[in-house]
Amino acid sequence: MNFTQTFFSRKFLWEIVRILTVGAASLLFWFELIPLPVLLVAMAFGLYSLLKVAAVDLWKERKIGTELFITVAVIVSVLGKEYLAGSVVLMIILIAEYIASASGEKARASIRELIGSAPKTAVLKVNGSEKTVQISDLRVGDIVLVKAGEKIPVDGKVTAGDAVVNQAPITGESVPQEKTVGSDTFAGTILESGALDIQMTKAGKDTVFARIISLVEDAESQQAPIEKFTDKVASWLIPVVFVFVGVTYWITRDVKLVIALLIFTSPAELGLATPLVTIAAIARAAREGILVKGGLFLEELAKVTTIVFDKTGTLTVGRPVVNRVEITDAQYNEKQLVHLAATADRRSSHPLADAILDYANQLKVEYGEPTRFEVVKGRGVGAEVEGKSVLLGNKAYMDENKVPLPATSANLSDTAIFLSADGKLAGVFYISDAIREGAKEMVNGLRKSGVTNIIMLTGDNPETAKHVSEQVGITEFRANLLPEDKINVIKELQASGVKVAMVGDGINDAPALAQANIGIAMGAAGTEAAMEAADIVLMQDKLEKIARARAISKRAFRTIKENIIVGVGVVHVIGITLVLLKIIGPVEAAAIHLLPDTLVFINSIKLLRVEI
């Protein structure tokens, strides 16, 4: 929705009609083309909406807002026989209110645009035929056909076809992803080329797409502390203002002065300064694959000085990889060792076996089926490969089979997997959890942003913890921790008075995420537990998103302060001063009153596009 569509939509039709009615009546009265009663009727028509809002706020919420201030100002102008001044003031204030309403709608429209509307229909495949049905008629297990250029209508798994899918609306990924049989798909993503048959796994409100929309919409109701503070300031300010205006009138008996003061002492922009920024920042973050569950968490993240990271699955990929192969028998080269190990491990389901098979694929080493295969629990595997008796496993397995182990260059941070052929050690595979790409740069970026304390928590041994922390540039770590120990570490930090953000994978770290001031879950696309446990959800396994989320939160918090100090404080103080000096009157005051509304709107909405 562009600027024109937002500000001239049917939603604001009556607001536009009121402005035009009061404006036209003021002009005609000025030229003495209509009598006073007609002007008063027009003013009553324009004032009705403000009076209604003021009455509802006062009666139901015990809240005094700008609508009551303006209503009083207009009534005072009529009682003081300043009819034209009152009507012009009313027209300009109606314009200001219109700008405020349309500004909020523009920010909310950006939230709807960042994902776009979900498809309403899908092509259902039944018994070899195809028919178009409503999304609401689909059931889990149904197969839908999606072609190039269409939005994927459901969460599901690919059962046939291959295609390239733009997942940016869900994950914020800039590079389209290839989808083949077995790949997961998300509703709301765009199929750029190819065609897919997708079996539906989630329906309606259960889809990631629907949950994202729900989270972002709910985020608006989570007030930031600064927003609560401005509400309190406004509530205390109002009685003081009325006393001030009353005393001024008692001293001066100047109706025009009172009208102008009521305009400039209205707390309107205090209520506008924060929500607009919150909505715009949440929309900006969501566009980049970062879901912030409310302004409360946006502000908290900006203030965080300590960030705690889980190791496995967060700073590391959570998947073992082969770091190095040590050759101990000169008759073999690395590829031959990998061939023997991969063939022996071909039928194993152990994660370390997967690491060796991945390494073989990486080196493009072919491997076949072993002639004989057995798994020895807690030890390794035994197999016959091309006539050789192969053992692949830990030191205990080698000792039990009396395989001599010469001194190796193993380090305590890696898992050593020994390979023997015909009773003689042939080589050693060093395997560990791989450091996630961009981890070191992310840590450096957070330090530059003002995070003074970065800590890693892990259930691994101290040697592994030290190795990983050194790799990513973290100086403090805690090892050998159980899940409850992680919670205790966070409580200990909080007891010292610091605000703590916890970053984890959102599943096994859920208790620690909940305990922290801010819980940040990584790679949560499709993970319901992560969306529920965390305050901020990253839709991709990309560490740079953490620094990105903090950058957006800090920019948003800075923008709020700019709105309050410059957009509200400076303009209002100058305005009140000019009124008391009788340099400006009610009409000029109303015209200047448009300035802070416009400044706050422009300053807030720029968060959607400005480079951060």
Lowest mean pLDDT among 1-5, 317-321, 505-509: 1-5
Beta strands at 380-385 and 388-393: parallel, antiparallel or unpaired: antiparallel
Active-site positions read: 310
CATH topology of domain 300-317+436-550: Rossmann fold (3.40.50)
Q: What is the pLDDT of residue 41?
A: 95
pLDDT in tens, 127-152: 888 899 988 888 899 999 999 888 88
pLDDT category at 3 given cuts 50, 70, 90 is: very low
Query: What is the Cα gyration radius of the chain?
Result: 33
371: Cβ contacts below 8 Å, ≥ 6 apart: 383, 384, 385, 386, 387
Asked, colleague to colleague, whether 300-317+436-550 and 318-434 share their fold, the answer is no
Helix/strand/coil for 246:
helix
Domain boundaries, the chain: 139-202, 300-317+436-550, 318-434
The architecture (CATH level 2) of 139-202 comes to Distorted Sandwich (2.70)
* Cross-strand partners of 454: 307
**426 exposed, middle or buried (CB, 10 Å; 0-12, 13-18, 19+)?**
buried
pLDDT in tens, 278-314: 878 888 888 888 888 777 788 889 889 899 998 877 8
* Cross-strand partners of 280: none
pLDDT category at 45 given cuts 50, 70, 90 is: very high
Helix/strand/coil for 44:
helix
pLDDT category at 454 given cuts 50, 70, 90 is: very high
**347 exposed, middle or buried (CB, 10 Å; 0-12, 13-18, 19+)?**
middle
Q: What is the pLDDT of residue 313?
A: 78
Kindly write down the DSSP assignment for every residue of 81-99, as one continuous string: T-HHHHHHHHHHHHHHHHH
pLDDT category at 218 given cuts 50, 70, 90 is: low
Q: What is the pLDDT of residue 424?
A: 92
CATH number belonging to the domain at 318-434, selected among 3.60.15.10, 3.40.1110.10, 3.90.420.10, 3.40.1390.10: 3.40.1110.10
pLDDT in tens, 112-129: 555 555 677 889 998 888
